[in-house]
């Protein structure tokens, strides 16, 4: 009967079935290809797969907020510093909604290692981070696959300075120098994005809409900014450390885009609000679904005077200064937004309530640019904020040199490149896909930045079968990173087993052709490296760890049946 069922539907009613979510081709051509390769290998070893491509917001809502997934393929935003590992994998965040531990991963040894890396500095921290990465490589809450090259196409006849700073950061935009002869009236930077989310929602806390890009950092100032891997003062004029307490002095006479002054009270409010978006009015705290790890490092923020705050931390200064990069929010805007919704009886459910999801709160910051125009799925325009502190002659920081930035949406990397070749845009603000770009006109240049993202397979370890460590490890062994990089990325990526940028990967985890704890089940009967799966060896591994096949040895039986 099972065989008849399989002939009709392709699956038996007692076969183990999992759902594999990912992005559609227009959102991410590489993610869907990786998912299809994994689907093929899972089917080969007897696991039925429901492949579900979902648009960015829907995928992230399912994973980050609802925790309604089995596994998924995507690209993690990462960052220049591995402090995000604490937020991503510490078990204390597992019950929460947001970017904090969406996998539900709980492992006491990992927690201890994460806490150690958080309390150390310099060389000791590098060693501690290495221990965290080794533990993650053994336990497989996720399977890092590869680090893609970060490439953007830029136009050199209208702007210079493309290589001065990372183009995924605020400094990459404010440091550009326009060729005045190329402009008759206003100086506009025309950027192309292949992700429409910023045109639909600019709430800095909306987790499904915020992953990559400098949009928040252009609209909102933070106390510090990252500059080529270093943390330096931004809205803060300076800070001084006394043991675990930083005295932070703000730059004088800074204002929000609506003209209200930026004060130390706004800094205190920001950290209080991010730790509990109900501001103490709910039944228990309701942490924001973004910036959770950074705010968790802050013990207290105390106003000293209008320009000075005292910040006490629960981490090393290296880690604490990462916490200075969160956007400073205007108290007069966000406190009233919270109070109005609570008065209407809105339920402040952590991570999903209206304050942290709506696009109806005006994106008023104090950053170098202010929102001027927003057309969903079409474009968004930011205009220069002329009162920004970087425009003061004595401030030794790059200032915005353009009158405005227009981000136009294109459906994919190919059409984005076409816009530059036609002279309709100055840069691809989104990272290009793995398509090769050859024979460029003389006024176009391909800029490569230090990669900060990685592709990965994420598991929901709350539920069977991915709650089983052995199952996760065997599935990890179905992924051939080498052939994925060659076939899916055209060689424009680096295989990896560590969820960090390359400079933080310890020697023992550097890629040498095989994953140290979960090597690919390669079919050794082929003389050439074809990336063929040894199906029988993979099936034996499942059986050795207690997973039962049907009487014909074709598929894994779902024990729930």
pLDDT for 29-76, tens place per residue? 999 999 999 999 999 999 999 999 999 999 999 999 999 999 999 999
Give the per-residue pLDDT at 8: 47
Higher pLDDT, 560 or 108: 108
Q: What is the mean pLDDT of the chain?
A: 94
- The helix or strand, by DSSP H or E, that contains position 247, with its residue range, turns out to be strand 245-250
Residue 384, pLDDT score: 98
How far is residue 478's CA from residue 475's CA, in Å, rounded to a whole number?
Answer: 5
**pLDDT at res. 49:** 98
Q: DSSP assignment, residue 61? A: I
Query: Tokens standing for 31?
Result: 């993610």
What confidence score (pLDDT) does residue 351 get? 96
Phi, psi of 150 (to 5 degrees): -105, 100
Ordered by start, the domain boundaries in the chain are 15-79+93-103+138-148+453-544, 150-200+368-449, 221-366
* CA–CA gap between residue 403 and residue 173 (Å, rounded): 12
43's enclosing H/E stretch is helix 29-44
Residues constituting the chain? 561
Band of residue 210 on the pLDDT scale cut at 50, 70, 90? confident
Residue with tokens 């930045």: 449
Which tokens go with 89?
Answer: 């994998």
E-only strand ranges, 340-497: 369-375, 379-384, 404-409, 427-428, 444-449, 454-459, 493-495
Bigger pLDDT: 428 vs 211: 428
pLDDT at 78: 86
pLDDT band for position 561 (50/70/90)? very low
Q: Give the 3-state secondary structure of residue 356.
A: helix
> What is the mean predicted confidence (pLDDT) over 289-301?
96
Give 314-355 pLDDT, tens digit per residue: 999 999 999 999 999 999 999 999 999 999 999 999 999 999
pLDDT above 70: residue 372: yes
Asked whether the predicted pLDDT for residue 527 surpasses 70, the reply is: no
CATH class of 221-366: alpha beta
Note whether 406 and 191 are within 8 A (CB): yes
Alpha-carbon gap, residue 219 to 363, rounded angstroms: 7
Report the alpha-carbon distance of residue 280 to residue 124 in Å, rounded.
Answer: 38
**Per-residue tokens: 4:** 């008849």
Q: Tokens standing for 547? A: 């997973």
Does 493 score more than 90 pLDDT?
yes
Question: What integer is the mean pLDDT of 492-514?
Answer: 95
Torsion angle of alpha carbons 503, 508, 511, 516, nearest 10°? Answer: -140
If you ran DSSP here, which 8-state letter would residue 260 be given?
P
What's the confidence (pLDDT) of residue 528? 57
**Candidate CATH numbers 3.40.190, 2.40.10, 3.30.70, 3.10.290; the one for domain 150-200+368-449:** 3.40.190
The pLDDT value given to residue 557: 96
* pLDDT band for position 26 (cuts 50, 70, 90): confident
Rounded CA-CA distance 114/91 in Å is 10
pLDDT at 1: 44
Mean local confidence (pLDDT), 480-493: 96
Element (DSSP H or E) covering residue 486: helix 481-488
Of the candidates 461, 465, 132, the one whose C-alpha atom is nearest the C-alpha of residue 319 is 132
| Rounded Cα distance, 425 and 403, in Å | 16
Cα-to-chain-centroid distance, residue 557: 36
Residue in 213, 208, 207 with CA at minimum distance from that of residue 194: 213
Tokens encoding 275: 């730790």
Is 167 or 79 the better-scoring residue by pLDDT? Answer: 167
Topology of domain 15-79+93-103+138-148+453-544 in CATH is D-Maltodextrin-Binding Protein; domain 2 (3.40.190)
Degrees to nearest 5, angle at CA 203 with 163 and 250:
65
Q: One fold for both 15-79+93-103+138-148+453-544 and 150-200+368-449?
A: yes
Q: Output the 3-class SS for 182-229.
A: HCCCCCEEEEEECCCHHHHCCCCCCHHHCCCCCHHHHHCCECEEEECC
Tokens at 128, concatenated: 């501690």
Asked if residue 70 lies in contact with residue 460, where contact means CB atoms within 8 angstroms, the answer is yes
E strand spans, 354-467: 369-375, 379-384, 404-409, 427-428, 444-449, 454-459
Q: What is the pLDDT of residues 135-145, one digit of tens each?
A: 999 999 999 99
Using pLDDT thresholds of 50, 70 and 90, give the confidence band for residue 497: very high
Where is average pLDDT lowest: 5-14, 123-132, 176-185, 356-365? 5-14
Q: Is it the case that residue 464 has pLDDT exceeding 90?
A: yes
Q: Quick one: pLDDT at residue 478? A: 98
Residues 204-214 have a mean pLDDT of 88
Q: What is the pTM of this model?
A: 0.94
What is the reported pLDDT for 3?
52
- Residue 306 pLDDT greater than 60, yes or no: yes
CB 489 within 8 A of CB 147: no
Does the CA dihedral 310-313-319-323 come out positive or negative? Answer: negative
pLDDT at 441: 87
Quote the CA–CA distance of 107 and 94 in Å, as a whole number.
Answer: 11
Res. 231: pLDDT tops 50: yes
DSSP state, residue 81? S
């Amino acid at each position: 009967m099972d065989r008849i069922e399989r002939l009709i539907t392709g699956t038996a009613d007692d076969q183990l079935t999992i759902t594999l979510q990912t992005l559609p081709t227009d959102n991410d051509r590489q993610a869907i290809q990786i998912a299809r390769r994994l689907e093929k290998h899972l089917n080969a070893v007897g696991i039925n797969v429901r492949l579900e491509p979902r648009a960015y917001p829907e995928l992230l809502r399912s994973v980050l907020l609802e925790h309604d997934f089995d596994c998924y393929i995507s690209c993690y935003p990462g960052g220049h510093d591995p402090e995000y590992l604490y937020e991503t994998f510490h078990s204390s965040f597992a019950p929460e909604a947001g970017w904090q531990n969406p996998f539900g991963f709980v492992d006491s040894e990992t927690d201890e290692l994460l806490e150690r890396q958080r309390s150390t500095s310099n060389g000791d921290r590098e060693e501690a981070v290495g221990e965290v990465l080794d533990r993650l490589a053994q336990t497989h809450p996720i399977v890092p696959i590869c680090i893609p090259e970060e490439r953007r196409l830029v136009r050199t006849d209208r702007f210079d300075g493309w290589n001065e700073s990372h183009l995924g950061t605020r400094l990459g935009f404010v440091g550009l120098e326009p060729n005045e002869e190329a402009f008759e009236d206003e100086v506009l930077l025309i950027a192309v994005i292949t992700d429409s989310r910023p045109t639909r929602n600019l709430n800095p806390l909306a987790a499904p809409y915020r992953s990559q890009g400098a949009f928040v950092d252009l609209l909102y100032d933070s106390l510090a900014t990252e500059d080529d891997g270093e943390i330096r003062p931004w809205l803060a004029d300076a800070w001084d450390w006394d043991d675990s307490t930083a005295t932070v002095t703000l730059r004088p006479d800074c204002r929000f885009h609506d003209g209200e002054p930026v004060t130390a009270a706004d800094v205190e409010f920001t950290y209080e609000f991010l730790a509990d978006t109900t501001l103490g009015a709910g039944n228990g705290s309701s942490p924001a679904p973004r910036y959770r790890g950074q705010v968790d490092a802050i013990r207290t923020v105390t106003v000293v005077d209008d320009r000075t705050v005292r910040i006490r931390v629960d981490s090393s200064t290296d880690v604490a200064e990462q916490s200075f990069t969160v956007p400073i929010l205007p108290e007069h805007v966000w406190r009233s937004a919270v109070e109005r919704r609570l008065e209407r009886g809105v339920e402040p459910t952590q991570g999903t309530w209206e304050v942290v999801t709506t696009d109806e709160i005006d994106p008023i910051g104090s950053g170098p640019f202010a929102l001027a125009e927003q057309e969903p799925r079409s474009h968004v325009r930011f205009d220069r904020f002329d009162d920004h502190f970087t425009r003061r002659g004595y401030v030794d920081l790059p200032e915005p040199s353009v009158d405005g930035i227009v981000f136009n949406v294109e459906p994919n990397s190919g059409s984005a490149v076409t816009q530059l070749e036609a002279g309709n845009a100055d840069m691809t603000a989104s990272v290009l896909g793995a398509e090769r770009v050859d024979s460029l006109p003389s006024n176009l240049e391909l800029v490569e930045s230090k990669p900060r993202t990685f592709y990965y397979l994420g598991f929901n370890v709350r539920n069977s079968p991915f709650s089983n460590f052995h199952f996760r490890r065997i599935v990890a062994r179905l992924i051939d990173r080498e052939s994925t990089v060659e076939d899916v990325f055209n060689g424009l990526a680096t295989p990896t087993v560590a969820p960090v940028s390359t400079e933080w990967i310890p020697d023992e985890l550097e890629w040498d052709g095989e994953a140290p704890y979960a090597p690919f089940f390669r079919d050794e009967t082929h003389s050439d490296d074809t990336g063929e799966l040894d199906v029988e060896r993979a099936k034996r591994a499942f059986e050795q760890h207690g997973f039962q096949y049907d009487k014909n040895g074709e598929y894994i039986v779902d024990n729930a049946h």
